[in-house]
Every structure is written in structure tokens, then in C-alpha cells.
A and B are shown apart, each in its own frame.
Chain A
Amino acid sequence: MIIDREVPGSLQFQPTKVELDEEVAAAKATLLHDIKRSVYLYRCDLGGCNGCEIEIFSTITSVFDAERFGIKNTASPRHADIMIYTGAVTRSTRLPGLRAYAGAPDPKLVVAYGACGCSGGIFHDNYCVWGGADKIIPVDVYIPGCPPSPAQTIYGLAMALGLLEQKLHAETTVEADDERAPLRFETIPYKVRVEIEREARRLAGYRYGCDLANEFLTTLMLADVDVHGTMTQFIASQDDPRRVEIYRRLYDVLMSHARSDG
């Protein structure tokens, strides 16, 4: 099954982007790398859900304390060095966004914040959404996340100011000639494995069920001779009564198969 989902870009309005003139671009490059003072940031919401705002404000609280690096939040774009744009840029917030951008003195850094700010996020193909701050203004740093955690925000801002290095890079891998996907839990019969995984997911939900089934099957793989003894010991060694119950039921599934197979 192969799917091809093109974003209906042709159906969306494509706004004209603000372009930087050369002088401002040069000044900005200097600011980006050699800033020697505190920076003030202004947060501009272009149709976000407020999740990003909550994370920005938890970044400046005492636990993460962005003011250690001289990063201060300001209430007016007139004082700002860094503009943080959150939200997917809805039709009605484009103009306020541009006004805030024009209001901030040059040179300024623009940060696209959150999945929506970077690319429109989950709203990327919505009819009234322009899909990210970089559609209307030149963006310097993209901080992905939904919402980005305070640590991620600090990392992004530190990167914007040239304090930390970028870690993520574009990457393309090509399938090798005789590449084979490893078969998981090879010695356990496929039907037994699937039934154990299914039961674990039914009991503990998809994500934790998956983790529990993995742990159970890994222990089962290692038990070579005395399966009953090993599994009983494994179940008894669990602290959490919920885990004990789930593992016990998984063991029942295993035993019912063992009985039917002889």
C-alpha cells in the first residue's frame, strides 16, 4: 500500500513574503553571531492554541530561568531583539503579525516556534491557514515541538544567539542491496507473539502495552529450558501490582497456546 498525499498548496492562498534588504541582512548576520548584551524577546501569537505561550512563559520561570542568558520577555515589539512567532498564521492574524514585525527595530531575529510556527503543524492544509511564519516573514531559527519544551526553547534561543551548535541535519539514506528487516523474537512462534502483543495492548493501551509485551517476550526469549520457573520468577519480581496482573494474563495466553500445541 503506497500513499501519496500532496499538500493542497494550490488551494491555499500564497502570501507575499517580506524580503530583507542587503544592509539589514548584513546587520542581522552580525547580530546573530556577535551579540554581546541581553536580548529582549517579543512573543507574537498568530493563531496558536496557547500551548506554546505556556511553554515560553515556563521558560522564563525560575526552573529554566532564561534570564541567566539575558533573555527577557518584553511587552512591546518596539523593544524586541527576538520576535517569537507561534501559531499557524491564520488569515486574520497575518496583518497583526506583519505589523509587529514592522514595529520591531532592525536588525531583529525571527524565531518560528512550535510545529505550527515552523510549518503549519497539524493545521498545515487548512483553508484559512497560511502554514507557518516563514510564509510571511524571513525566519532565522525554527524550534519544532508541539509545544516545544522549555529546555528545547532554551536550546533554540541559545542557537539563535550562536551559543550552541545545531544538532539536527538533513539526511537521506538509501536501501542497501541485500538489506533485510530483522524479524523480532525469531524463536517465538508468530501467532503466539501476535496474541501476546494484542492482549497486552488490550489491557494496557497501545503504547504501554507495546512496552510490556516487549519486556515479557524478551524474558521469554531468554528462558531456554525452565520456561515456567523463569516466567513465574519474572512475574514475582514486579513491584507494580498492575504489571503483575497483566503479565499473569499474558502468561495465561502463552500457556493456552502451549496446551493446544501439545
Chain B
Amino acid sequence: MLKLFKEIRKTGCATVGYPFEPLAQADGVRGKPEHTADACIACAACAVACPPNAIQMIPDIEEGTVTWSINYGRCIFCGRCEEVCPTRAIVLTKAFELAVMSKADLETKSVYRLQACSVCGEYFASRKQIELAARILGQDSDQTEVLQAIDGLGICPTCKRTRDGVAASNHAKLTGGVR
């Protein structure tokens, strides 16, 4: 009997203290993906990467907004969103206490404004994304090409193609056509 008690004392208690004390977690544990709304540029890279479509981008053309949303009830905690995020706005934390009583509480949303094309007036990207691209380009140098690129940031891809096509045909007329 004493031998048994000794053995028990030597072995110790294997049970963790949770929930009475914080849980010790290993490095690299993939918990709740935490979204920093300020740092997000609504580029939708995470929505494209998300395997179960837990992250979705729903545009509202009437309002001129796009709503980023994550459904933690569908998330499989794979970390692909963290991998692709260009601004590290979404990072997997170690938080795991995600259980809820009502399904609506599983969803987190962020609303972002859209950028209208300066030529045709249609929405084509989020405002913050364009703004960040302008800053990155401006950081590089003050070459004419860069300045031109910054100038064309507010134009949607379709209008940009039209503009380039018109410029090319004008140039061809001036120089006597394409050889």
C-alpha cells in the first residue's frame, strides 16, 4: 500500500489545470484567426485561399461597400489566410474558446468602402487597396513610369485597357502604322 502511494507521488498528476488555470499551449498552435480591421485592405486574397469558404467577401454595389466576413463555425484553422495576407491583417492566434450558444455569434464582419473608377464610375476594388498600392509605388522612386502608374491607379482594368489601346493606335498613326 505504501509502495503504491510512493509510486503515485513519484508519477504526479497528469491532468491539466484547465479551465481553472490557463492552458499551456505549444508554439505553432493554430487557434482563432484574429482579424485586424484597420490593417486589412480588403484585397480578398484570404477569401480566395480559404478552402471551406469560411471567409467571404460580399460586395454591395448600391452602397459602394464590400463586407468581409469570417464564419468561425466553418473555419478549419488551416492558416492559409495568414499565409496569403499581404499586410498580416489576419493572424492565427492561440485563442481556442470559441464555443457559442447562438449561431450568429460565430460570425465577424468588417465593412470596407469601394473605389469607383475615375473614368466610367464603376466600383472595381477597395479604396484601401488602391491607397496602399499608391504608397508602395511612391516609396520606390520618382521615375516617370512610376508617376504614370500612380496616376492610373484610380482607373478600372477595362478603362485602362481602352486607354492603352487608344494610346497605342494614336501612336501608330503618328509613326505611320504598325510594321
Nearest CB of chain A from residue B36's CB, rounded to whole Å:
9
Mask of B8-45 contacts with A, CB within 8 angstroms, 1/0: 00000011101100010000000010000111110110
* A134 in the interface (beta carbon within 8 A): yes
* B73 in the interface (beta carbon within 8 A): yes
* B52 in the interface (beta carbon within 8 A): yes
How far is A190 from B52 in the complex, measured between Cα atoms in Å?
32
* B100 in the interface (beta carbon within 8 A): yes
How far is A7 from B66 in the complex, measured between Cα atoms in Å?
18
Residues of chain A at interface, number, CB under 8 A: 65
Tell me what chain A mostly uses at the interface: helix, strand, loop, or mixed. Answer: loop
Stretch at the interface among B132-140, B159-167, B168-176: B132-140
> Which positions 57-114 of chain B face chain A at CB distance < 8 Å?
57-59, 66, 71-79, 82-83, 87-89, 96-101, 103-114
Nearest CB of chain B from residue A113's CB, rounded to whole Å:
10
A140 — which chain B residues lie within 8 A by C-beta?
101
A119 touches B71 (CB 8 A): yes
B88 — which chain A residues lie within 8 A by C-beta?
184, 214
A163 — which chain B residues lie within 8 A by C-beta?
19
How far is A139 from B105 in the complex, measured between Cα atoms in Å?
14
B40 — which chain A residues lie within 8 A by C-beta?
181
A118 touches B74 (CB 8 A): yes
* B117 in the interface (beta carbon within 8 A): no
B103 touches A2 (CB 8 A): no
B48 — which chain A residues lie within 8 A by C-beta?
1, 3
Q: Which residue of B lies closest to A142 (CB)?
A: B100
Nearest CB of chain B from residue A132's CB, rounded to whole Å:
8
Nearest CB of chain A from residue B141's CB, rounded to whole Å:
9
B37 — which chain A residues lie within 8 A by C-beta?
173, 175
B97 touches A65 (CB 8 A): no
A172 touches B111 (CB 8 A): yes
* A37 in the interface (beta carbon within 8 A): no
Q: Evaluate whether A206 and B83 lie within 8 angstroms (CB atoms) in the complex, with A145-B77, A168-B98 already known.
A: yes
How far is A209 from B111 in the complex, measured between Cα atoms in Å?
31
A5 touches B53 (CB 8 A): yes
A159 touches B101 (CB 8 A): yes
A122 touches B97 (CB 8 A): no
B99 touches A159 (CB 8 A): yes
* A182 in the interface (beta carbon within 8 A): yes
* A93 in the interface (beta carbon within 8 A): no
A182 touches B87 (CB 8 A): yes
* B121 in the interface (beta carbon within 8 A): no
A181 touches B41 (CB 8 A): yes
How far is A5 from B50 in the complex, measured between Cα atoms in Å?
12
> Which positions 44-75 of chain A face chain B at CB distance < 8 Å?
62-65, 68
How far is A154 from B173 in the complex, measured between Cα atoms in Å?
75
* B125 in the interface (beta carbon within 8 A): yes
* A227 in the interface (beta carbon within 8 A): no
A4 touches B58 (CB 8 A): yes
B113 touches A175 (CB 8 A): yes
B83 touches A184 (CB 8 A): no
Q: Name A124's contact: one of B39, B53, B89 (CB within 8 Å).
A: B53
A183 — which chain B residues lie within 8 A by C-beta?
132, 135-136, 139
B75 touches A1 (CB 8 A): no
B39 — which chain A residues lie within 8 A by C-beta?
181-182
Residues of A within 8 A of B (CB): 1-5, 7, 62-65, 68, 115, 118-122, 124-125, 132, 134, 139-146, 148-149, 151-152, 154-156, 158-160, 163-164, 166-175, 179-184, 186, 189-191, 206-207, 210, 214
